[in-house]
Structure 1
């Protein structure tokens, strides 16, 4: 069975601060992908970054980076130098061999 969880409450940050959003998961799959999306107030889901379970290094994409700890089954999103445009709901998602799951999301406001 697969499970993905985000338990952080809404976060309020200052511009230019770094923020870390937490996500934990559970899966019995050997190969899987983990993804982060954001959903601004306009409603569209925007893909940010992803990590494959077999990758040796943490993924980085512009101001977004991941702290992937396979043994702890956690995949944290780090946003450096927060901007007003970062205000959104953030969703962690997983693609496994057998199922895809998405958590309820965490709100991040500036």
Structure 2
């Protein structure tokens, strides 16, 4: 089994953890993100950026949607009351090695 490196980035209203982790191939991975907003309507988006390459959009969760969003091997655990959203990567693969970004988008 190969190992991969996953990292995260922090922006103003979003905090991610852990900052970096080493993962065995085929393991499930959970990346944590907490956020702060007073807007009732917002979207949370996850992206990944491989070491060489452009940022790639993964999955989006809208605040009004009570169901956790899923896109392929990526699924979200959205806990609105706790202002947290976790990205779950099932059956991780070598190409999952990247820096992951959690973004908060509020209406203007």
- Give me the whole-angstrom Cα distance separating, in 2, the residues matched to 1:60 and 1:42: 26
Q: Unpaired runs of 5+ in structure 2?
A: 1-11
- In structure 2, what is the Cα distance between the partners aligned to 1:9 and 1:93? 15
TM-score (norm 1): 0.85
- Aligned equivalent of 1:94: 104
Structure 1 segments (4+ residues) deviating >4 Å: none
**CA distances 1:65-103 after superposition (whole Å, capped 9, x unpaired):** 0000000000100000000000000000010024xxxxx
Alignment size in residue pairs: 97
Q: Which runs of 5+ in 1 are unaligned?
A: 99-110
In the other structure, the counterpart of 1:18 is 28
Q: TM-score, normalised by structure 2?
A: 0.86
